[in-house]
Structure 1
Amino acid sequence: MRQIVLDTETTGLSWEKGNRIVEVGCIELVERRPTGRQFQRYFNPGREMEPGAQEVTGLTLDFLQDKPRFETVLDELLEFIAGAELIIHNASFDVGFLNYELSLAGPQYGRLEQHASVLDTLAMARERFPGQRNSLDALCKRLGVDNAHRKLHGALLDAELLAEVYLGLTAGQGDLGLAPAGDARAAVATVALEAPVPGVRRVLRASEAEQAAHEARLAKIAGKAGKRLWPAAEPAA
């Protein structure tokens, strides 16, 4: 199964007010393990950053001025996520912004859900930890994910942290480790080599000492009445 852990940074909290995406970060997982493939781009939003967004991301319009516009990289992004399951924390936020950007780029792009399915880890966390804080930072602390280096919000950094959080939330479905996908294939190959050969049955027979211990145990269970639920064992051939 191919999954893409995705995060965005924006000029503000509401696309309805004309805010735009300034960064996209993606991490590819195959069979729950990172492949090493990533997608990360900064974008020139063509408008100022809102003070709150600039504070949490550290991004400024001066830094973004020479970056490409979103629509010029859109085809590359859609090719990277095509057919995958997107893992997003608070998906309604990111999906809303991505659909807004797609609409600005042209009707031929449709909606994000036509290119990939979406899994919301915030909804997963609320189901598993009801009534608790389920921000990315709170989940990192609860699941033992080291986020000490997260001083500012960044799409690629947050996607990397979210990948570990997702694996922690779904640890019962497989290994938690972030080993490369090649290691997972090697593990499957090892298991296949150690599997029993079809059609060959290995029979283990009890030794004389084991049979004697078994008979003694049955006699003790039967007691003085001598009533047994199992017949005496036949001598080994």
Structure 2
Amino acid sequence: MRQIILDTETTGLDPNQGHRIIEFAGLEMINRKLTGRSLHLYMHPEREIDPDAERVHGISLDFLADKPKFKQVADQIVEFIGDAELIIHNAPFDVGFINAEFERLGIEPVATLCSGVVDTLFMARDTFPGKRNSLDALCDRFEIDRSNRTLHGALIDCELLSEVYLALTRGQDSLVMDIEVDTGIGAGLGLAFERKPLLVKRANEAELAVHDGYLNDLDKAVKGQCLWRAMENPAPVEGAA
């Protein structure tokens, strides 16, 4: 499977207010391995950059003065992401900006050009409900080194996100990667494994005595026979032979 780890930096938060993409980065991954192929572009937005946005990514309009406009690099982006599955942290944000840029140029939207979109923020919230799931937080949780990330930059964020994605999805592969393939049981699935005998460890006399004492306390609490004793010693059925 061909996947693209993707990130953008923008002039602001809302493409519907005319904000534009100023940095695009993508890393190619095939069969869960980075290929070394990437696309990293800076673009002049043809507008001002919001101060709050600049404080986050550190990209100034002066730096972008000699950079191409989006329309000049759009074909490179389309060719790079075409037919791939995109992996994005907070995908609605980046896809919304890319689609807005594509729409200006009459290019089909991401949903048509690509085979799908995976939102790692959604995955993380599902895996770690109620916890912080920013890229920084996930790097810390998975012990991924982010010491080089002093500002938000699209390329370094892609590099970190690739490791976060693999960590988030590693369990999906373990059922396959850790099983030897042969012609034994499960050959119809292309998988086989040998089930080891289950180890049964029985309670010793001291543990049984503690358990019996606990049941006695339960009997006293319910002023009769607790459910466990009733299950162990079911009452005889009337009329039974």
Give distance in 2, aligned partners of 1:118 and 1:74: 19
1:61 partner SS: coil
* Total equivalences in the alignment: 180
Q: How does 1:216-231 map to 2 (within 5 A)?
A: none
Q: Does 1:140 align with 2:139?
A: yes
2:129 aligns to what SS in structure 1?
coil
Q: Structure 2 CA distance, aligned partners of 1:33 and 1:58?
A: 30
- Which runs of structure 1 show a deviation greater than 2 angstroms over 4 or more consecutive aligned residues? none
Give the corresponding residue for 1:61.
61
Aligned residues with identical type, % of pairs: 54
Residue in structure 1 matched with residue 165 of structure 2 by the alignment: 166
1:64 is paired with a residue whose SS is coil
Q: Please, what TM-score do these two structures have when normalized by structure 2? A: 0.71
Q: Following TM superposition, by how much is the alpha carbon of 1:174 offset from its aligned partner in structure 2, in angstroms?
A: 3.4
Question: TM-score, with normalisation over the residues of structure 1?
Answer: 0.73
Q: Distance in 2 between matches of 1:80 and 1:20?
A: 20
Residue identity in the other structure for 2:133:
N
Distance 1:56 1:14 in 2: 15
Letter in 1 for 2:12: G
In structure 1, the residue matched to 2:199 is none
Amino acid at match of 2:163: E
1:128 aligns with 2:127: yes
| Residue 87 of structure 1, CA deviation | 0.2
C-alpha distance in 2, partners of 1:148/1:80?
29
Instruction: Name the CA distance, whole Å, in 1 between partners of 2:120 and 2:4.
Output: 13
Counterpart residue type for residue 102 of structure 1: F
Query: Within 1, Cα distance between the matches of 2:132 and 2:151?
Result: 19
Provide the residue aligned with 1:52 in structure 2: 52
Instruction: Note the alpha carbon deviations across 1:84-112, whole angstroms, 9 max, x for none.
Output: 10000000000100000001112xx1211
Structure 2: segments with no counterpart, 5+ residues: 188-241
Corresponding residue of 1:232: none
Matches within 5 A, 1:1-237: 1-106=1-106, 109-116=107-114, 117-174=116-173
Q: CA deviation at 1:173?
A: 2.7
> SS state of the match for residue 162, structure 2?
helix
Q: Secondary structure at the match of 2:158?
A: helix
Amino acid at match of 1:58: G
* One-letter code aligned to 1:114: T
Q: Deviation of residue 137 (structure 1)?
A: 0.4
**Separation in structure 2 between the aligned mates of residue 40 and residue 151 of structure 1, nearest angstrom:** 19
Q: Separation in 1 of the partners of 2:90 and 2:145?
A: 20
Shift in Å at residue 148 of structure 1?
A: 1.2
One-letter identity of the residue aligned with 2:92: S
2-side partners of 1:61 and 1:129: how far apart? 38
Report the secondary structure of 2:29's partner residue: strand
Q: Secondary structure at the match of 2:77?
A: helix
Q: CA deviation at 1:76?
A: 1.0
Alignment-mate amino acid for residue 152 of structure 2: H
Give the equivalent residue in structure 1 for 2:198: none
SS where residue 170 of structure 1 aligns? Answer: helix
For residues 165 and 72 of structure 1, what CA distance do their matches in structure 2 show? Answer: 32
Residue-by-residue CA offset, 1:9-66 (whole Å, 9 max, x unaligned): 0001111111100000001110011000001000000111100111111111010011
Deviation of the 1:131 alpha carbon: 0.5
CA distance in 1, matches of 2:173, 2:25: 25
Distance between the aligned counterparts of 2:123 and 2:60, measured in 1? Answer: 33
SS for the counterpart of 1:110 is: coil
Shift of 1:144: 1.0
